[in-house]
Structure 1
Amino acid sequence: MVWPMILSFVHPPPPSVLITATAVISLVGLANAGLSEVRGSHLKYSKEARLQSRTGMLIIYMPAILLGAASFWVFPVGNSKDLRFLILRAALTLHFLKRVLEVLFVHKFSGLMAVGSMSDISLSYFVFTAISIYIQYLSRDLPKPRIDLTYHGVVLFLTGMAGNFYHHLVLSRLRKSQGNKEYKIPQGGLFSLVTCPHYLFEIIDFVGLSFISQTIYGFVITLGTIIYLIERSYATRRWYLSKFDDFPRHVKALFPFVF
Structure 2
Amino acid sequence: MDSILSALFSSPEEEQHVLDWMAYSMLLMAAYTFISLLFVNVPYGRYSSSAYGFPVNAKLAWFVQELPAFLLPVCLLVWASSARSSHLANQMLIAMFICHYAQRSLIYPFLIRGGKPTPFLSFFLAFVFCLYNGFMQIRYLSHYAEYPADWATHPFFVAGCVLWLFGWLTNLHSDHILRNLRGPGETGYKIPRGGMFKYVSGANFFGEITEWVGFALAGQSVHSAAFAVFTVVVLSSRAFAHHKWYLAKFEDYPKDRKAFIPFLI
Shorter-chain TM-score range: 0.7 to 0.9
Note if contact 1:194-1:256 (Cα within 8 Å) is conserved in structure 2.
yes
Note if contact 2:171-2:205 (Cα within 8 Å) is conserved in structure 1.
yes
Amino acid at match of 2:123: M
Amino acid at match of 2:63: L
* Residue in 1 that maps onto 2:214: 208
Note if contact 2:69-2:101 (Cα within 8 Å) is conserved in structure 1.
yes
2:182 aligns with one of 175, 199, 202: 175
Amino acid at match of 2:192: P
Q: Structure 1 pair 198/141, CA: closer, same or farther in 2 (3 Å)?
A: closer
Note if contact 1:34-1:229 (Cα within 8 Å) is conserved in structure 2.
no
Percent of aligned positions that are identical: 21
C-alpha displacement at 1:22, in angstroms? 2.1
C-alpha displacement at 1:61, in angstroms? 0.9
C-alpha displacement at 1:240, in angstroms? 0.6
Give the distance between the partners of 1:94 and 1:240, measured in 2 at CA. Answer: 31
* Residue in 2 that maps onto 1:11: none
1:57 aligns with one of 62, 69, 75: 62
Give the distance between the partners of 1:242 and 1:52, measured in 2 at CA. Answer: 28
Give the distance between the partners of 1:191 and 1:124, measured in 2 at CA. Answer: 28
Deviations 1:37-89 (A, max 9, x none): 56999785358333211111111111111012112213347478632322222
Higher relative contact order (CA 8 A, sep 6+): 1
Matched, 1:186 2:187: no
Q: Structure 1 pair 142/19, CA: closer, same or farther in 2 (3 Å)?
A: farther
After the TM superposition, which of the residue ranges 240-249 and 25-34 deviates more from structure 2?
Answer: 25-34
Give the distance between the partners of 2:142 and 2:42, measured in 1 at CA. Answer: 39
Amino acid at match of 1:213: G
C-alpha displacement at 1:234, in angstroms? 1.5
Indicate the SS of the match to 1:35.
Answer: coil
After the TM superposition, which of the residue ranges 219-228 and 71-80 deviates more from structure 2?
Answer: 71-80
Amino acid at match of 2:180: R
Give the distance between the partners of 2:119 and 2:212, measured in 1 at CA. Answer: 26
Indicate the SS of the match to 2:224.
Answer: helix
* Residue in 1 that maps onto 2:102: 97
2:121 aligns with one of 111, 116, 120: 116
Give the distance between the partners of 2:144 and 2:155, measured in 1 at CA. Answer: 14
Gapped regions of structure 1 (runs ≥ 5): 1-13
Q: Structure 1 pair 78/193, CA: closer, same or farther in 2 (3 Å)?
A: same
Q: Structure 1 pair 82/39, CA: closer, same or farther in 2 (3 Å)?
A: closer
Instruction: Return the TM-score normalized by structure 1.
Output: 0.80
After the TM superposition, which of the residue ranges 119-128 and 228-237 deviates more from structure 2?
Answer: 228-237
Amino acid at match of 2:252: D
Give the distance between the partners of 2:35 and 2:208, measured in 1 at CA. Answer: 19
* Residue in 2 that maps onto 1:8: none
Q: Structure 1 pair 73/251, CA: closer, same or farther in 2 (3 Å)?
A: same
Deviations 1:1-41 (A, max 9, x none): xxxxxxxxxxxxx5447325423333224424542456999
Give the 5 Å matches for 1:56-95. Answer: 56-76=61-81, 78=83, 82-95=87-100
Give the distance between the partners of 1:163 and 1:45, measured in 2 at CA. Answer: 32
1:154 aligns with one of 149, 161, 171: 161
After the TM superposition, which of the residue ranges 230-239 and 31-40 deviates more from structure 2?
Answer: 31-40
Give the distance between the partners of 2:260 and 2:148, measured in 1 at CA. Answer: 36
Give the distance between the partners of 2:254 and 2:200, measured in 1 at CA. Answer: 10
Indicate the SS of the match to 1:221.
Answer: helix
C-alpha displacement at 1:95, in angstroms? 0.9
Paired residue total: 244
Give the distance between the partners of 1:225 and 1:236, measured in 2 at CA. Answer: 16
C-alpha displacement at 1:238, in angstroms? 0.7
Indicate the SS of the match to 2:93.
Answer: helix
Matched, 1:246 2:249: no
Gapped regions of structure 2 (runs ≥ 5): 1-15
Indicate the SS of the match to 1:254.
Answer: coil
Give the distance between the partners of 1:53 and 1:80, measured in 2 at CA. Answer: 35
